[in-house]
Amino acid sequence: MPNVVILGSTGSIGTQTLDVIRTLPDIKVLALAAGTNHKLLREQMAEFRPEMASILVPEQAEALASEFSVPVYSDPRALEDMVTDPRCDLVVVAVVGAAGLKPTLAALKAGKRVALANKETLVVGGHLVMQYREQIVPIDSEHSALWQLFLGRPREDVSEIILTASGGPFRTYQGDLATVTVEQALAHPRWNMGGKISIDSATLMNKGFEVIEAHWLFGLPFESIKVVVHPESIVHSLIRLQDGALLAHLGTTDMRLPIQYALTYPRVQPSPVEPLDLAAVGSLSFAEVDHGRFPSLGLAYAAGQAGGAKPVALNAANEEAVRAFLAGEIRFTQIAETVHAVVEEFPGQSFLTLEEILAVDAEARERARAFMGQRG
């Protein structure tokens, strides 16, 4: 029975991971880590009875520890202890943002298998993480699809990766994007996701992160990684072979499928998710990305190609700008403006150590806040 540690258990991916585990009795939940949602964490602990947990609110950690008679930590550094516990077999990294990097590296260095839903970890530290590529299985639907398309296939047989994007809530929007509301930006047409990733999907920064993630996971240069708009979100990714043929992965729009694949890899087990009915789908459509309307995707391509501090600054500035937009402090279009301004201030090319990544991350956040403050 594999023992699983779930980082970000109260978020969108975390709760869906637990939904999947309910159908997989062979999996034991060893530990749960949450941010501040103590009510949901309490419900999860009552149902799954983990042997340890974590929440960032000290008084809630004390209360949960007393109620369940297990260690409950409030120090973020405790995540690294949880993922390196000798009893742990698999770590699901479902936390949002660059906060996932340190516990992911700790788990990998300890020899744990990692089911990775946190794309920012590869954006800011892909060169560090991919030293342990044999231990990683991606959870993102696009990269899970690519993972399955690449199985047993030499990399040199593939000339191109194609990631699909729904286009987000503003794909056909004719109004001024500078005036859209938070509620409009959160209304993703296809996927049920958390707030931060929903905004990233609306700006297409999420797809930009996925381009960088695909570069690290599959080893193709950025010019061989394409993005097309696919509103139905049925085709999750494609690969183009050297002879020009395309192979596609199709599936229901339900994150429980890639989550289960990562949990049971290399096996594929029956899923409670309703299988895709092609006749019911009827038709599929594809279109080019409007880069002028959605500049964040181009910013991500440029930062990924430049390397060095730029991807770190890209992610840090984006996190700060999205936080500010969700708080009503800036306009939707100022997210990309902030990211562009901050990334321009950092160098590219050289690989960074973990300590340098953390320093750039902190500096980029400070510069992003200063930039937004000047325009507030």
Name the residue with tokens 């594809």.
286
**Together in a domain, 163 and 293:** yes
- CATH code, domain carrying 127: 3.40.50.720
**Together in a domain, 129 and 173:** no
**Together in a domain, 217 and 364:** yes
Measure Cα distances from 201 to 21, 62, 175, 258, 325 in Å: 27, 37, 18, 18, 14
**Together in a domain, 134 and 148:** no
Q: Please report whether residue 168 resides in a domain.
A: yes
Q: Please report whether residue 263 resides in a domain.
A: no
Q: What is the pLDDT of residue 350?
A: 84
**Together in a domain, 300 and 218:** yes
Q: Please report whether residue 105 resides in a domain.
A: yes
Q: Quote the CA–CA distance of 22 and 368 in Å, as a whole number.
A: 41
Q: Please report whether residue 270 resides in a domain.
A: no
pLDDT, tens digit only, all 376 positions of the chain = 799 999 999 999 999 999 999 999 999 999 999 999 999 999 999 999 999 999 999 999 999 999 999 999 999 999 999 999 999 999 999 998 889 999 999 999 999 999 999 999 999 999 999 999 999 999 999 999 999 999 999 999 999 999 999 999 999 999 999 999 999 999 877 766 778 989 999 999 999 999 999 999 999 999 999 999 999 999 999 999 999 999 999 999 999 999 999 999 999 999 999 999 999 999 999 999 999 999 999 999 999 999 999 999 999 999 999 999 999 999 999 999 999 999 999 998 788 999 999 999 999 999 999 999 987 6
Residue 246: phi, psi to the nearest 5?
-110, 135
Q: What is the pLDDT of residue 376?
A: 61
H or E stretch covering 136: strand 136-138
Q: Quote the CA–CA distance of 319 and 53 in Å, as a whole number.
A: 26
Among 120, 138, 156, give the residue marking a domain's end: 138
**Together in a domain, 239 and 335:** yes
Name the residue with tokens 């109260």.
10
Can you name the residues that pair with 344 across neighbouring β-strands?
A: none
**Together in a domain, 26 and 103:** yes
Contact in structure between 185 and 198 (CB atoms under 8 Å): yes
Name the residue with tokens 């949990």.
263
Q: What is the pLDDT of residue 191?
A: 65
Among 89, 114, 138, give the residue marking a domain's end: 138
Name the residue with tokens 């440029």.
302
Structure tokens at 111: 């020899």
**Together in a domain, 207 and 315:** yes
Contact in structure between 30 and 6 (CB atoms under 8 Å): no
Report the number of distinct structural domains present in the chain.
2
- CATH code, domain carrying 345: 1.10.1740.10
**Together in a domain, 97 and 208:** no
**Together in a domain, 200 and 55:** no
CA 119 to chain centre: 4
Q: Please report whether residue 195 resides in a domain.
A: yes
Among 115, 138, 161, give the residue marking a domain's end: 138
Q: Please report whether residue 265 resides in a domain.
A: no
* Amino acid type, 202: A
Q: Which domain holds residue 294?
A: 144-253+280-374
Sheet bearing 246-250, strands edge to edge: 225-229, 158-165, 235-241, 246-250
**Together in a domain, 71 and 211:** no
Cα 125–Cα 128–Cα 132 angle in degrees, nearest 5: 125
Residue 75: phi, psi to the nearest 5?
-85, 125
Q: Please report whether residue 84 resides in a domain.
A: yes
Read off the pTM: 0.95
Cis peptide upstream of residue 266 (ω within 30 degrees of 0)? yes
Q: Quote the CA–CA distance of 169 and 203 in Å, as a whole number.
A: 9
Q: Please report whether residue 272 resides in a domain.
A: no
**Together in a domain, 115 and 201:** no
